[in-house]
Structure 1
Amino acid sequence: MGPSSLFWLLLWSPIFHLTLSTELRKFERLSVEKRNWKNGQTACADKNGHLVTLHNRYDAQLIHKLINRPGATAYLGLHEKKDAHQSEWSNGVEMTKWTTEANITYEQKCVAIQNNEWREQPCNETMYFMCYNISAYQLIEQKKDWCEARLYCRKHFTDLVSINNNNQNDEALRRGANRTFWIGLKHDNYQWEDGQCSTFREGITISAAGHKECAHQYEDNVVLDRCNNTHNIICMQGDTRITVPTDPLTWEEAYDYCKKNHDGLLFIRDQDEQLEVEKWLNATGVPGPVWLGLRQSRVLGFWFWSTIDQVVDFINWRDGPPELPLSYHCGAIDGRGTWSDVKCQTKLPALCIEDMYSTTD
């Protein structure tokens, strides 16, 4: 099912111009001398940003591209927690009565209920999960990693479920109906400087000297080393990242998928966002064309961003906006950042957006 009937009625209105408060992530490599981790953190804060958080291999590829020369390094936001070796619930409450063996190196361990017992699992595994709100627990039968599950619960409920007594545990087991599912307990010796949750830990090594306090990226690898060493600084601003569904989809399928699983199809409102998208496409090598949230009114002919119900203002079409009656009605972007109209039933990859700080409305 596509956009709502009310949305289509709004297209007839000359005042149709709604907005969503969100900002696409932007990355900037500072052209100053190398800094230690703390000074890098301060420099990014002065720009209203943070050291970089990696969520997936696309992020790692982008940072590799921004470092921009062989052998160069740049600090990331990953650093050792002051309260390492403690396990916490998703709501930040420390778990004191549970013994874990996950207090080694950079490992994350998250807890799932399996066969009615609590089991440690790598946090990047995907499985069902249980959310809660004031009145009830709810098993969500979608497979997500632990951080994705937490984000979903915070957007649609209150949080991943916390279990503090036998009655709560019995209720979780009853609601879980013998399924395997995440609960809100996680152990991690490390945290990202901006507070985001990420299960990405690929390619991490520890320095030869065994120091593992702060992380920097060297080409495609992440190295845990001393925080007082100096590296390049890349700052990150914005709260919305790009993510890519696994399978090619029609435009309507992509619209539904991105709305259900993330925060909608990607939209581009100005030249700055266009440049960031081009930078992302160039670094990650995602083949184009890929779907955007671009759609054309079949009646009035104007183009709009379906995700934010906003008429297109900034444009980057190959030959100007496609016009009725010869145009196709869905918009895509190629690997160089150029927009084009494509038949809506064509199956293409899609660019979804994810607001990393969303919480329950």
Structure 2
Amino acid sequence: MMMDWILLGVLYLSGCNISSCLLHQYHYVADPMNWTEAQTYCRVTYTDLATIENTEEKNQLITTVSSFENNTKVWIGLYTIIDWRWSDGYRGRGAEYRNWIIDHPTFYYVYNYFCVLSGNKQPWQANNCLANFPFICNNGTQLDPEFVFVNESMNWSRAQRYCRENFIDLATVRNATESQELQSLVLSNWAWIGLYRDPNIYWSDGSGSSFRYWDTGYNKILSSVACGVAALDNSGRWKFLPCETRLPFVCYSIPPLPVMRQVVKLRMKLEDSSVDLNDPAVKADILKKLQDRLKEKGVSGVTLKWREQPDGRVFHKEGKSSEKKKRQKTEL
């Protein structure tokens, strides 16, 4: 026997567009500081240096700064740790040897220059790891290398795999003598060697945001840490500068979100009259199923709660008088 019940529930929805919710409110600080000083100021006064998680927040930060400055660079919460390493893991004597091109920046084309080339009788330079070049393997030991030039163009990762499968690893270079020997083997203009680094890009507040808005220009950084700026003179695009540079900066705080409340009335039909819809376990199970349905539809930021009637119950059997009133309203 079917039984009609009325279900009353309350939806609490955060008052912003779910697909483009701005989680950060930005605050421009004109007083120039180095990056560490700016970070300390933001953490004491607001929440932290600016984190940017999507295009809407990027535009909001630009608007915030542009109301004060139209042609400046400002610190944001982005920073990187620059750690060049050898493919074979060598960290012994000579591991820090570098033969960079004169005035070669340690941090070069920040968004993709993470692998190193040696030229034909030329010093080293960083390049995009996805680019294809010949490469040099080591077929000896770390302390007694035997360099082998492979005249086949591959990206750095494929070259590394080839060297490990056919020799020992990509070449490690520990001193000027080994560098000259290696250069004399290069038959093309450039060849991969084993020096590389990971991106190691972080936000001050520990956010895992992967959103990026890079400037494509050069970044001449000669230290092991570099800090991020948004360049208003280049559409707010990001680049890295020495952290000791004194600049204005942008902090963020997390504004309280307004809450909208909506009451939703549903009619449910029971096939099993023995089920008590007011049982706490049953109510919890229904809530979970409704919440799962919302997630399937891509709706987030919504909280569902039951609204109890004065008698403490949520569900009430719908009487015949209610049916009659409904029919009258429908006829009108």
Question: What TM-score, normalized by structure 2, do the two folds share?
Answer: 0.38
Name the larger-Rg structure: 2
Question: What TM-score, normalized by structure 1, do the two folds share?
Answer: 0.35
